[in-house]
Amino acid sequence: MDNRLEQDVLIEDALKSQPLAPMPRSITANVMARIQMDRRPTLITWNDFVIALVIALTLGALFITAQSLPPIALAKLRIQGILLYQGFIINARWLVPTLLFGLAALFTSFAIPPLLKMTADDRR
């Protein structure tokens, strides 16, 4: 018999043969004293403030840049956007299935190892 199985049998026998001890009356108070905190958690940290500031400055810089561009540059940007969109529409025939199969392969690679671990027999 495996060593772990012998230990499990001994533990089961000990649990069945020994009487249960009464639960202490102060168990709820002891547990609650451990999980209650003295102060409220901080809702906004300095990292959140810095990230918001960087995003706001970036959006402001983009707005000011767009306002100060000459009209010919805006027209060229619009033409490039249209060309990019048309290129996507033309290539979507192979791009969309490729992206979907790639995502399916990625998610499968995440899912298969845990499934193999769950189905493996540990008692061998």
pLDDT tens digits, 65-111: 989 989 999 899 999 999 999 988 888 888 888 989 999 999 999 99
> Is 15 among the domain residues?
yes
Query: For residue 50, what are its two tokens?
Result: 């810095």
> Which residues, at least 6 apart from 123, have a Cβ–Cβ distance to it below 8 Å?
2
**Section 7-32 average pLDDT:** 83
State the Cα–Cα distance between residues 72 and 78, nearest whole angstrom.
Answer: 10
What is the domain range of residue 17? 3-119
Res 117: pLDDT: 85
What single-letter amino acid sits at 56? A
The per-residue pLDDT of the chain, averaged, comes to 86
Write out the two tokens for 20.
Answer: 């249960």
Largest CA distance in the chain: 90
Q: How confident is the model at residue 123 (pLDDT cuts 50, 70, 90)?
A: low
Per the domain annotation, does 9 fall within a domain? yes
Residue 82 tokens read as 């249209």
Query: Do residues 2 and 123 touch, judged by C-beta distance below 8 A?
Result: yes
Q: Is residue 124 part of a domain?
A: no
Q: Are 95 and 88 in contact (CB under 8 A)?
A: yes
pLDDT given at position 101: 95
How many domains are contained in the chain?
1
89 phi and psi, to 5 degrees? Answer: -60, -40
Q: Does residue 115 lie within any of the structural domains?
A: yes
51 CA to centre of own chain? 19
